[in-house]
Each structure stands twice: as C-alpha cells, then as structure tokens.
C-alpha cells in the first residue's frame, strides 16, 4: 500500500457532475488517488447550487456538494474553448483514469471520443456512467435518480404497500452506480498491469439498481413471482422487521429456526403450532407481527434490547442521523473525518466505509482533504502541467 492509500500515485481526471460520477471519483480519492475535478467556470458542478441547506458566509456552500467531493482538486475549464480542450488533452496524457457521466455522445462532440482518448493515452481507464445504458433502445435518456428508482423497479419493492411505491431516502441509484463504477475501475487498473492498456468501464443507474435486486430478482426470473412492497417486514423471513414496545420501536431478525427456538423459549406465549416453521410464519406474517407486538408491549426498550442480546436474537434501535453521528461506534470505525475547509474552517464529514488492516486510517489515507471551492486549484494544476513532462 502506498503511503496515502492503496491507490497512491493514481491520477484521476473527474469530468463528472451531480452525484454518480463524483461519488465514484471520491471513492478513488478516498483510497489515495489524486483526483482533479474539472468544472464549468460559470457555476461549477450542479450540486454547488443544490439546497438548502447552504452554510458559510452568505450561505455560499452547499452541504450536498460537500457530501461527494472530498479529496479532490477543482480546476475550472471551458471545454468548448480551444484553451480548455488543450488543458484537458494534457491532463488526459498524464492520467490513469477519466470519469465522465455525460449523456451518450456529448464527450464525442467535444472531440474526446474513446478512440481519441486512447490515442492520447493507451493506458487510460475510462469510466462512463449513464442513466439507462450507453446503447439500446433507450440508451440516450437522461438519468435522474428517482426516475431510475421507479423505472428499475426499486420503488415497487419499497414502501408500506404495493399501492404506495416509495423512493429510498438517499439517491441510491446514483450512489450504487458510483460504487459499481469505482469497482470496475479498480479491476481495469489491475488488468492494465498485465496488458499495458486501459479499457472503458460502463455502468448506469439502471444497471446498478437491477444489480442489487438480489433475491427479489430471482423471485421473478426463476419462480415467476412479481414481488411487491412489504413495508418494514421481510418478505421471506418472519419475524424480521420493525416492532413496537412500551416506549418505542425496535427491529429484530429471527433468521433461523435455532433463533426462533431461543426466541420462543424467552417469550413462551409465542410458542404456537401454527408458527412452527419459517414458511408457516411467513404465510401468517400479520398474525406473527401482532403476536410479537403484543408481547413486546409489556417491555421498555432499555430492558428489551439487553434481553434479546442475552438470548442471541439480533436486534437494534431505529436511530435518527444525529444519534448515528454522535454514536461512538460510528466514529470508532472511521466513518467521520475532520477536514479544514477554505471557507468554512474545520468541519466534519461522513467518511469512507473502508479501512485496511486493523488500525489503518479510513480509506487508507492518513489525511483527508476538504471538498474544494470552485477553481481553487486551477493555477496550481496548470503550473504542475507546465513542470511535468
């Protein structure tokens, strides 16, 4: 591993904006890559204007932008101008990875189609993220997360019932596309060690969401069942979901018959012949939920959670985000990083989800860098290009 993460020494040129591409590039930056983010001089990345909330002097900084652009340098370029194209060319010649999430054909019209990119740099790995795929009958469609969540079936699986399709509370299609994209880039960089040549990695919001259908997908492709939303309870395991106690809510997972036996030993009124096996309980899910809620109604949350832990049944609270970020377990896992922002001063950001070795820094980096202000590094990067063969 390099001194600042496993991708130390890798140069990424990030032409993307909004969330899917920036998230992929941020993941690579978290792992130690140098990420140079190219932004339009008039306004920059779309997410700089997404809010509220905005923070800082005159509410000048979008917290949305802060969420997906740490560990990057910002360079402003007009890619429609000859000067802007020349700087991009020089960056491409030196880069290991280029990330873009333009609609299909936009990069070609700018004069940087795949053939041209690999003519400039045969070792370049290109990550291209689209909404619905780069080809196919609807390959040219613009990709927005909530639309993709609906089109890719995720909303039909989420919410209280089939009549109320519900979006996931974060832009999960964008985030998953970024994660899959970064995963593909790392694989392509590994392959390049053998072949000496880069390749194009493609994914989309559609592909990313279909890629996480998991058992819901095979319910249809193999069993012919069309899954629908089942609220806060698992469609194939019972009891598994959200339950109510005397003073709050909690979630439990009784994921095996062995756990069920421990569960009913602790709460004997649930030991009923009609609840004998998991398929029995799934068929009678509403009855199981009602019965468990009735038992839990006699318990306070502070007493019930230790009782479930004692018998080995997985359980947990439903935390608001303030309680997540104030939780010592969260900070102990490197999931918060402190950075110094040029406008805001010291701030805390959600951190990378990976650590290497038992006590390594989050993402492998010894130090994380704040998301940049617009064009913050233009002069330093241009000077570096002039100095670097």
Give 122-169 pLDDT, tens digit per residue: 999 999 999 999 999 998 888 899 999 999 999 999 999 889 999 999
Q: Which of 163, 174, 303, 357 is catalytic?
A: 174
Name the phi and psi angles at 362, rounded to 5. -60, 125
Q: pLDDT tens digits, residue range 331-353?
A: 999 899 999 999 999 999 999 99
Active site residue 174: yes
For residue 187, what pLDDT band results from cuts at 50, 70 and 90? very high
291: enclosing H helix or E strand: helix 285-296
pLDDT, mean of residues 39-64: 94
Q: pLDDT tens digits, residue range 77-95?
A: 999 999 999 999 999 999 9
CA distance 100 to 177: 12
CA distance 356 to 188: 21
Half-sphere exposure of 357 (CA within 13 A, CB side): 8
Cβ(372)–Cβ(72) below 8 Å: yes
CA distance 364 to 352: 9
CA distance 209 to 172: 8
Residue 58 has pLDDT above 70, yes or no: yes
pLDDT, mean of residues 293-313: 97
149: enclosing H helix or E strand: helix 145-151
For residue 361, what pLDDT band results from cuts at 50, 70 and 90? low
**Average pLDDT of the residues of the chain:** 95
Q: What is the pLDDT of residue 140?
A: 83
For residue 56, what pLDDT band results from cuts at 50, 70 and 90? very high
Residue 2 has pLDDT above 60, yes or no: no
Q: How many CB atoms neighbour CB 260 within 10 A?
A: 21
Residues 6+ apart with CB under 8 A from 295: 267, 269, 270
Cβ(308)–Cβ(315) below 8 Å: yes
Q: What is the DSSP string of 59-126?
A: G-EEHHHHTT--S-EEEE--TTSHHHHHHHHHHHHH-SEEEE-PPTTHHHHTT--HHHHHHH-TT-EE
Q: What is the pLDDT of residue 215?
A: 94
Residue 1 has pLDDT above 50, yes or no: no
Residue 119 has pLDDT above 90, yes or no: yes
Beta bridge partners of 51: none
Q: What is the pLDDT of residue 112?
A: 96
Longest dimension (CA), the chain: 78
CA dihedral 301, 305, 306, 312 (to 10 degrees): 160
Give, in degrees to the nearest 5, the angle at Cα 113 between 111 and 114: 150
pLDDT, mean of residues 182-204: 97
Q: What is the pLDDT of residue 388?
A: 83
Q: What does the DSSP 8-state code read for residue 277?
A: S
Which residue ranges form the domains of the chain, and what is each CATH number?
A: 11-212+329-387 (3.40.50.10540), 240-319 (3.30.1540.10)
Residue 280 has pLDDT above 80, yes or no: yes
Cβ(351)–Cβ(49) below 8 Å: no
Q: What does the DSSP 8-state code read for residue 361?
A: P
Q: What is the pLDDT of residue 355?
A: 87
For residue 4, what pLDDT band results from cuts at 50, 70 and 90? confident
Residue 68 has pLDDT above 90, yes or no: yes
Global pTM reads: 0.93
CA distance 63 to 51: 7
Q: What is the pLDDT of residue 188?
A: 98
Name the phi and psi angles at 5, rounded to 5. 120, 165
Q: What does the DSSP 8-state code read for residue 355?
A: B
Residues 6+ apart with CB under 8 A from 90: 385
């Amino acid at each position: 591993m390099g001194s600042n993460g496993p991708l130390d020494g890798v140069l990424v040129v990030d032409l993307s904006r909004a969330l899917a591409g920036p998230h992929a590039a941020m993941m690579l930056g978290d792992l130690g890559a140098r990420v140079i983010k190219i932004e339009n001089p008039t306004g920059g990345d779309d997410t700089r204007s997404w809010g509220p909330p905005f923070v800082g002097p005159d509410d000048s900084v979008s917290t949305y932008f802060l969420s997906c652009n740490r560990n990057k340098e910002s360079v402003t370029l007009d890619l429609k101008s000859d000067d802007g194209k020349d700087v991009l060319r020089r960056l491409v010649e030196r880069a290991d990875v280029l990330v873009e999430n333009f609609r299909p054909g936009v990069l070609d019209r700018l004069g940087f189609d795949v053939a041209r990119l690999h003519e400039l740099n045969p070792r370049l790995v290109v990550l291209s993220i689209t909404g619905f795929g780069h080809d196919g009958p609807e390959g040219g469609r613009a990709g927005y997360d909530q639309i993709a969540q609906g089109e890719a079936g995720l909303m039909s699986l989420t919410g209280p019932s089939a009549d109320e399709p519900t979006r996931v509370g974060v832009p999960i299609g964008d985030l998953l596309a970024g994660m899959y994209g970064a995963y593909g880039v790392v694989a392509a960089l590994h392959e390049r060690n053998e072949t000496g040549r880069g390749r194009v990695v493609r994914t989309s919001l559609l592909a990313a969401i279909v890629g996480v259908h998991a058992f819901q997908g095979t319910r249809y492709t193999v069993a012919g069942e069309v899954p629908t939303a089942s609220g806060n309870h698992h469609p194939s395991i019972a009891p598994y979901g959200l339950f109510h106690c005397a003073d709050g809510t909690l979630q439990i997972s009784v994921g095996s018959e062995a756990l069920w036996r421990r569960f009913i030993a602790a709460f004997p009124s649930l030991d009923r012949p009609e609840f004998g096996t998991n398929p029995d309980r799934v068929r009678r899910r509403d009855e199981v939920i009602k019965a468990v809620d009735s038992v839990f109604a006699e318990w306070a949350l502070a007493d019930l959670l230790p009782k479930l832990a004692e018998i080995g049944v997985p359980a947990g609270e439903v935390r608001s985000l303030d309680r997540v970020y104030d939780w010592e377990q969260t900070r102990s896992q490197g999931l918060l990083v402190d950075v110094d922002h040029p406008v805001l001063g010291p701030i805390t950001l959600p951190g990378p989800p990976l650590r290497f070795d038992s006590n390594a820094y989050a993402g492998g980096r010894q130090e994380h860098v704040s998301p940049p202000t617009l064009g913050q590094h233009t002069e330093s990067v241009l000077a570096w290009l002039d100095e670097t063969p």
